[in-house]
Structure 1
Amino acid sequence: MSAIRNHRPLALATAWLATRALMLWLLAHDRLTLLGRGGVSREVHHLYFHWYGVLSQGAFPAGDRLWQYPPGAGPVLLAPGLLPRLTYFTAFVACTLVADAVIAVVLTRAGLRSGRSSRGAWLWVLGLPLLLHIPLARYDVQVTAFAVVSLLALSRRPRVCGAFAAMGALVKVWPALALIGTPRGRTTREVWTSAAVTAAALLAVLAAVFSGPFDFLRQQSGRGVQIESLGGTVLGFARHAGWPGTARYQYGAMEFVGPYTGAVAACSLALTVAAFALVLLWRVRARRWTTATPYDAALTAVLLFTVTSRVISPQYMVWLLGLAAVCLTSRHTTQRPVAALIVAATAVSSVVYPGLYGDVVHSTWTGCLLMLVRNGLLATAAGVSFVRLWRSGLSTAAPHRPAPAGRERGARRIPAGLRTRQ
């Protein structure tokens, strides 16, 4: 058994190197028709590089309708400039690969612990390439790294958990949801206090160093219904029923414009509020916590918010793959069927974009059916995820509460009966 465990990291490393080499090859050839004709890498070459130039002058892109990210995104986009002798694009891809490797390493280490599983590391290593080269040309891998490290640090270093969640939330808001399932009591107080202090300190520094750190709020509020969202799928089919709307590039994405788009956007926001209420209700009602509960709750929350969002870009699948991988590191997770649905939705996403994106933009029957399948898989995953989380929290089985964080730092202080339940 120990020999098998010792070979897992080597096998995972070999698989990571092989799949990432393939992703790099795809990125180098992304001008091929089926790979988007250069559209995938264009965002880094032009948009990110433009923002890098603005940020280098000590200011956020004020008044830029495409800048819709919290101030923590600034340092992430500036980071490639720290690598000498590389173009911005090459350095950005290198930074993304480093973040990707960090995720693979922490998932592998988590899987080697007693009572844990290596399925999570395998899901990440083999699941990310399903998105082809898209993850290498977006900074969602970096954001996911913050969330993954945060969740895996919870059991032993709650303050580190809170700090990483806060850093991730300042880059893209969703990593804050990683804290929704922290065990009640001292652990939650430590984690949330650390997150609040870290966020406040970093915001103060960013506000002192850069001008216009909160301009993104004005741009975010103007977003409409992206064609790949759940509401966009409804409007896509509506075009075949005579709806006169069209798709237009605005706010950094293809969005529907025309009658009733405002109402669809409002419905999406209402569903997001309802999802937030459901997650809060679960937290209030839950009585049974396992070591997997924080992971499962984080995946459920992000799934619900993704499905109800006005925007479901293909790179959002990176978030879900990362959180599903964290869940699978625990043998107590309730989310195995959900992880399978996410993998299926990820595979369909790469067909949608960049493969047949023209069909989606023009709402052909092929494009509409593809979006129905992708978003149907995500909606099903969200429903199954919440139901399984809810049932596990209200289970009549004897509750299992993780040992206090301070007692997990030394094996001699952990009762023997708990060591195999990590």
Structure 2
Amino acid sequence: MTTHQAPQQTPLPLLSRSDATTTHRHRTLAAVWAVTRLGMLVLLVRDDLGVGGVSREVYVLYAGWYEQLARGVFPYGDTTWQYPPGAAAVFLSPGLLPWLSYFQAFVALALLADAAVALALARAGGRDAGTAGAWLWTCGLPLLLHIPLARYDVQTTALAVLALLALLRPRPRPRLGGALAGLGATVKVWPLLTLLGTPRGRPTRTAWTSAAAAAAALLAGLALGFPHTLDFLRQQGDRGVQIESLGGTALHLARLADLPYHVEYRYGAFEFLGPQVPAVARLSLLLTAAAFGWLLLWRVRARRWTPATPCDAALCAVLLFTVTSRVISPQYLIWLLGLAAVCLTTRRTTQRPAALLLLPAAALSALGYPLLYEDVIASTPAGCTVLVLRNGLLLAAAWLSCRGLWRATTAASNA
């Protein structure tokens, strides 16, 4: 008698425990992102916190620039136009959504860029560092309240983050990373610093050549289509000491001690006027030059590159240029949070202490503007305290960042 055995059925594939955990983390991250961004939108719609009208920047200033740019003219002679020519592309981009108002379209595109950064960070962490970087971005950005949705720094940061992640992939793509950094530099200059830590040799040559080509192509196109593309340089050169900068903090304390300093709205920001203010501005420029010199020295002395070196160097460089700047607006923290989040996508990073200090610095930035901005303008004890704490945290983060980068990469640290 022949026995017939039932055919064996192939079992359905099941998710491994690690895959299931990763999926759960990503869903949780997405839920938190959605809830926090809804809260930011509510604040933006109400826009009644503190002083200044955060959303006014979009529906008055940016919308006015859009009208000029749409006619093929850069804002010539406008003291508030202090941005490289590539910024025109960001200010014109809401025109891609004609069924929305300019304000609605701008905010929608800012949210889209924000989501793209969170998604890219979550995917980049992988099995190395998980979603630590994505969590820093997702939870850190709302500490700035609704400011990120009413400034174009999220879009700029997205270009820088994607450029760095292209350099940090298991199979790095320096050509893509360089092109994204070059485009970002035409929008707000600082994304070019993402290429500072590329490994010596062919990766550096490829990345910088690609950056130069991408930037040159965009600038050439803008120069052909618009007059006065470089007018922003004159407005930048005329800027003084903004009240939220490190130099401005020293002048606040001097004003609190009854020295003759006062605040005036100039070049789109509140700046100090009074004796020795030009000297403070020159000192800031000298410190920026010194920071650039230190970065060049680091680049020459560095002997050991790790997978984290490009993002570590980028955060270090932007921190140095931030703390030495004549202007430290709250939106600068968007850049720093984005770069810190990239650092946390790898366990090899040396920037974890600096990255964590940026979270309270972001919260204090929002406390200074818009919540206590009247106190900051008037140099009250409360306003001065907020600035001293915020800028003190940024200084500490810059110190820790430099120390970590130097020790991890120079020959002395590996002796």
TM-score class, shorter-chain normalisation, is over 0.9
Instruction: Write the distance in 1 (CA, Å) between the matches of 2:123 and 2:281.
Output: 42
The AA in structure 1 aligned to 2:163 is: S
**Structure 2 equivalent of residue 144 of structure 1:** 157
2:244 to 228, 231, 237: 228
Whole-Å Cα distance in 2 between the matches of residues 143 and 259 of structure 1? Answer: 36
Kindly indicate whether the alpha-carbon contact (under 8 Å) linking 1:40 and 1:134 is maintained by their aligned counterparts in 2.
Answer: yes
1:87 corresponding residue in structure 2: 101
Instruction: Show the counterpart of 1:406.
Output: none
TM-superposed deviation, 1:115: 2.3
After TM superposition, give the deviation of residue 45 of structure 1 in Å: 1.2
Residue 64 in 1 paired to residue 78 in 2? yes
TM-score (norm 1): 0.92
Q: 1:287 aligns with which of 295, 303, 312?
A: 303
Once the two structures are aligned, what percentage of the paired residues are identical?
62
Unaligned runs of 5+ in 1: 400-422
The answer as to whether partners of 2:51 and 2:371 remain within 8 angstroms in 1 is no
Q: Does 1:40 align with 2:54?
A: yes
- Following the alignment from structure 2 to structure 1, what is the Cα–Cα distance between the partners of residues 389 and 129? 33
* 1:248 counterpart SS class: strand
Does the aligned pair in 2 maintain the 1:233–1:372 contact within 8 Å?
Answer: yes
Distance 1:391 1:354 in 2: 38
d(CA) in 2 for partners of 1:219, 1:116 = 43
Letter of the structure 1 residue corresponding to residue 97 of structure 2: L
User: Is 2:68 the partner of 1:54?
Assistant: yes
- State the superposition RMSD in angstroms: 1.3
Q: Structure 1 residues 381 and 398 mapped into 2: Cα distance closer, same or farther (>3 Å)?
A: closer
**Local SS of the residue matching 1:141:** helix
- Structure 2 residue identity aligned to 1:234: A
Q: 1:251 aligns with which of 251, 259, 267?
A: 267
Equivalent residue in structure 2 for 1:188, among 201, 204, 215: 204
Q: Which amino acid aligns with 2:290?
A: A
Name 2:27's counterpart in structure 1.
10
Greater mean deviation of Cα atoms: 56-65 or 37-46: 37-46
Q: Is the 8 A contact 2:51 2:374 kept in 1?
A: no
Match of 2:130 among 101, 117, 123: 117
Is the 8 Å Cα contact of residues 47 and 55 (structure 2) preserved in structure 1?
Answer: yes
Three-state SS of the structure 1 residue aligned to 2:129 is coil
Which string of whole-angstrom CA distances, capped at 9 and with x for unpartnered residues, describes residues 38-60 of structure 1? 61011111111110011011011
| Residue of structure 2 equivalent to 1:167 | 183
In the alignment of these two chains, the number of paired residues is 395
Instruction: Please tell me whether Structure 1 or Structure 2 has the larger radius of gyration of its CA atoms.
Output: 2
Partner of 1:403: none
How far the C-alpha of 1:396 sits from its partner, in A, is 6.4
Give the drift of 1:36: 3.1
Does 1:126 pair with 2:133? no
| Aligned-pair CA distance for 1:82 | 1.3
Answer whether contact 2:196 2:310 (CA < 8 A) is retained.
Answer: yes
> How far off is 1:397 after superposition?
7.7
Are the structure 2 counterparts of residues 365 and 110 from structure 1 closer, same or farther at C-alpha, using a change threshold of 3 Å?
same
Cα deviation, residue 8, structure 1: 2.0
Q: Separation in 1 of the partners of 2:257 and 2:90?
A: 44
- Say whether residues 1:154 and 2:167 are aligned partners: yes
Aligned to 2:90: 76
| Alignment check: 8 A CA contact 2:364 2:386 kept | yes
Q: What is the letter of the counterpart of residue 7 of structure 1?
A: H
- Supply the AA of the counterpart residue of 1:370: V
Spell out the pairing of 1:300-379 with structure 2 (5 A cutoff). 300-379=316-395
Q: Which residue of structure 1 lines up, in the alignment, with residue 258 of structure 2?
A: 242
Amino acid across the alignment from 1:216: F
The amino acid that maps onto 2:392 is G
| 1:334-385 Cα distance to aligned partner (Å, 9 max, x none) | 0111011111100111111111010000001111111000000001100110
Cα deviation, residue 84, structure 1:
2.0
* Gap runs ≥5 in structure 2: 1-17
